[in-house]
C-alpha cells in the first residue's frame, strides 16, 4: 500500500512539476492546471460511492484516513510543484470556504438538536406531504441547512412505525435541503453570493414559477409513492393509540436560529473592511459572522437540558463525518474550481465557449453544482454571462443590465445552482448530513450511485427537462 502511495505521489509530482515549468510567467493556476489534476477529487468521490457498498465496516472505521489520503495525495505534490501559489490556493479554500461552511453547519446542527417535538404525530401520506411543504417554505427563510436540521428528526420519528422510509428521506433531500432554498439569498449559498455581487435581495422571487412547478411535481409524485407504500404496510388502527398533544421542547433555540440567520445577513449588508491573514484577504464582517455562529451554538449547548438532546437522539457523529469527508473534498476540489474559474483560458475552454443559450446555462451550472461547490460554480457562470453580454462594464452595472435585458440567463444560472444540488449527496451542504442522521435512526439509505440511479436521474432529471421546456427554451 505504501509503495502504491509513493508511486502515485511521484507521478503527480512529476506531472505538476512539468505544468509548473511550462507555466512560467502565468498568473493564475486555473490557466495552468491540466484536466487530469482533478483525479484525486474523482478518487474521493468514488471512495464515498464504493467503500460503503463493498466494505461498510472498513469505511465506517477508516473514512477519515481515506479522506486524508486523497487530500494529501493532491496537496503534497501540488505544494512542491507550485509552492506559494499552491499554499495560497489551499489556504484560500479552507479559510474562505471550508471553515465558514463547517461553522454554519455545526451551529445549525447544534441549535436544531436542542429543539424537540413531543407528542403523537403519525406519518400518513397526508402528514408527510405537509411536513415536506412546510420544510420547502422554511428553507428560503432559514436556509436549506437550517430547515433540514430543524425538521429531519421530527419527520423521521413521525414515520418510525413505517417499514418503507427510504423514499421519504430522499424526497426530503430533494425539497427541503435543495429546491426550497430558491426564493431568497438566505436559502442557498449561491443566491447569497449573487446578493453580495449586486443582485437585489428580493429579485430571486422571479424563481417562484420555477420553484412552484418543481415542488408541485415532486410533492405530487411523493404522495403517490408514499400512499402506495402506506397501503402495503400492516399498520395498527390509529384509534387504538393514546393521543399525546404536540409540544415543542427547547423552543428558546429558535432565538439562536434567528441569531444565526441574522449573523449571515449581517455579513452581507455590513462592510467593515478587511485584513490579511497568512496571505489570504479576510473581511471583518465574515469573522464577526463566524463568531456569532459559534456563540449561538455554545449558547444552545449551555441553555438546553441534556435530557432534551438525549430524547432527541442527538449525537455528534453526523457533523463529525461531514467535517472529515468535506475536508478532503474541499482540498481535492481546488483544481476543478480553479480550472472552472479560468473560463476560456483553462482546460475546460471548449466547454465554456459552448455555453450560449439559457438552457445551456441551466444545465451547465446545475451539472457542475451537483458535484462541486455550487457557490463558485454559480459565480463562474454569472461572470461568463456578464462577460458575454456586457463586456467592460463595472460588475454592478453589468448585473443591473443583465436583470433588465437578459434576466432569463440569471434565472437559468440561479435555478441550476439551487435545484441540481439535489442530484447527489454532496451537491448541497445538508444532503450528506440528512443521510447520516437517517442512518443513525437505522434507515437504510441508497449508496452514492444508488441515490443517483434510483432517484435523482429518473425523477429529478426528468423534472428538470420539463423545467427547461417550460422556462428556458
Instruction: Give the model's pLDDT for residue 241.
Output: 60
The answer to whether the CB of 187 falls within 8 A of the CB of 473 is no
pLDDT bracket for residue 392 (50, 70, 90): confident
CA–CA gap between residue 369 and residue 420 (Å, rounded)? 7
CA-only gyration radius of the chain, Å: 23
Is residue 214 within 8 Å of 253, Cβ to Cβ?
Answer: no
Count Cα atoms within 13 angstroms, Cβ side, for 49.
15
Q: Are 164 and 229 in contact (CB under 8 A)?
A: yes
Average pLDDT over residues 197-208: 89
pLDDT digits (tens, 9 = 90+) for 263-297: 988 887 888 888 988 888 899 999 999 999 999 99
Helix H segments across 55-161?
A: 56-82, 84-93, 99-112, 125-158
Specify whether the CB–CB gap between 109 and 319 falls below 8 A.
Answer: yes
Alpha-carbon span 260 to 269, nearest angstrom = 15
Q: Which helix (H) or strand (E) element contains residue 5? A: helix 2-22
Distance of alpha carbon 154 from alpha carbon 229, whole angstroms: 20
Q: What is the pTM of this model?
A: 0.82
d(CA 213, CA 361): 19
Q: Which three cell numbers stand for residue 255?
A: 432565538
pLDDT of residue 22 exceeding 50, the answer is no
Lowest mean pLDDT among 28-32, 163-167, 352-356: 28-32
Burial class (CB in 10 A: 0-12, 13-18, 19+), 333: buried
Give the span between the Cα atoms of 458 and 222, in whole angstroms: 14
Contact present, 408 and 472 (Cβ < 8 Å): yes
The H-assigned helical ranges of 370-406 are 374-389, 395-405
Q: Are 221 and 132 within 8 A, CB to CB? A: no
pLDDT tens digit string along 40-62?
Answer: 989 998 998 888 888 888 998 89
How far is it, in rounded angstroms, from Cα 452 to Cα 410? 27
Tens digit of pLDDT for each residue in 393-425? 787 888 899 999 999 999 999 999 999 999 999
Amino acid at each position: 500500500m505504501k509503495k502504491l502511495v509513493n508511486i502515485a505521489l511521484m507521478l503527480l509530482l512529476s506531472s505538476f512539476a512539468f505544468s509548473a515549468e511550462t507555466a512560467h510567467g502565468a498568473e493564475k493556476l486555473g490557466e495552468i492546471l491540466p484536466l487530469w489534476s482533478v483525479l484525486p477529487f474523482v478518487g474521493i468521490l468514488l471512495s464515498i460511492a464504493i467503500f460503503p457498498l463493498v466494505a461498510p465496516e472498513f469505511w465506517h472505521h477508516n473514512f477519515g484516513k481515506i479522506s486524508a489520503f486523497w487530500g494529501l495525495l493532491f496537496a503534497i505534490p501540488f505544494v512542491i510543484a507550485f509552492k506559494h501559489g499552491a499554499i495560497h490556493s489551499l489556504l484560500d479554500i479552507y479559510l474562505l470556504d471550508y471553515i465558514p461552511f463547517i461553522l454554519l453547519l455545526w451551529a445549525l446542527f447544534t441549535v436544531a438538536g436542542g429543539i424537540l417535538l413531543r407528542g403523537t404525530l403519525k406519518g400518513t401520506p397526508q402528514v408527510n406531504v405537509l411536513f415536506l411543504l412546510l420544510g420547502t417554505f422554511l428553507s428560503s427563510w432559514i436556509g436549506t441547512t437550517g430547515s433540514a436540521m430543524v425538521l429531519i428528526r421530527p419527520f423521521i420519528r413521525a414515520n418510525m412505525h413505517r417499514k418503507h422510509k427510504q423514499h421519504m428521506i430522499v424526497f426530503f433531500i430533494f425539497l427541503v435541503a435543495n429546491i426550497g432554498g430558491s426564493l431568497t439569498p438566505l436559502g442557498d449559498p449561491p443566491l447569497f453570493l449573487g446578493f453580495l455581487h449586486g443582485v437585489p435581495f428580493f429579485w430571486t422571487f422571479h424563481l417562484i414559477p420555477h420553484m412552484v412547478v418543481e415542488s408541485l411535481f415532486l410533492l405530487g409524485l411523493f404522495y403517490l409513492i408514499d400512499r402506495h407504500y402506506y397501503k402495503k404496510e400492516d399498520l395498527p388502527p390509529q384509534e387504538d393509540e393514546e393521543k399525546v398533544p404536540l409540544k415543542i421542547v427547547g423552543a428558546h433555540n429558535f432565538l439562536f436560529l434567528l441569531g444565526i440567520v441574522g449573523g449571515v445577513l449581517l455579513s452581507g449588508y455590513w462592510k467593515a473592511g478587511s485584513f490579511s491573514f497568512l496571505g489570504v484577504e479576510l473581511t471583518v464582517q465574515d469573522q464577526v459572522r463566524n463568531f456569532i455562529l459559534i456563540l449561538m451554538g455554545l449558547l444552545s449547548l449551555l441553555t438546553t437540558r441534556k435530557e432534551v438532546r438525549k430524547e432527541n437522539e442527538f449525537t455528534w457523529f453526523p457533523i463529525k463525518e461531514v467535517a472529515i469527508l468535506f475536508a478532503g473534498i474541499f482540498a481535492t476540489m481546488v483544481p476543478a474550481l480553479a480550472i472552472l474559474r479560468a473560463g476560456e483560458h483553462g482546460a475546460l475552454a471548449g466547454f465554456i465557449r459552448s455555453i450560449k443559450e439559457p438552457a445551456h446555462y441551466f444545465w451547465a451550472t446545475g451539472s457542475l453544482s451537483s458535484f462541486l461547490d455550487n457557490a463558485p460554480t454559480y459565480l463562474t457562470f454569472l461572470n461568463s454571462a456578464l462577460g458575454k453580454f456586457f463586456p467592460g462594464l463595472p460588475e454592478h452595472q453589468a448585473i443591473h443590465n443583465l436583470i433588465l435585458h437578459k434576466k432569463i440567463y440569471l434565472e437559468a444560472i440561479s435555478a441550476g445552482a439551487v435545484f441540481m444540488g439535489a442530484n447527489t449527496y454532496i451537491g448541497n451542504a445538508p444532503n450528506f448530513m440528512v443521510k447520516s442522521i437517517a442512518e443513525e435512526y437505522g434507515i437504510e439509505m441508497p449508496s452514492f450511485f444508488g441515490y443517483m440511479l434510483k432517484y435523482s436521474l429518473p425523477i429529478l432529471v426528468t423534472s428538470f427537462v420539463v423545467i427547461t421546456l417550460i422556462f428556458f427554451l
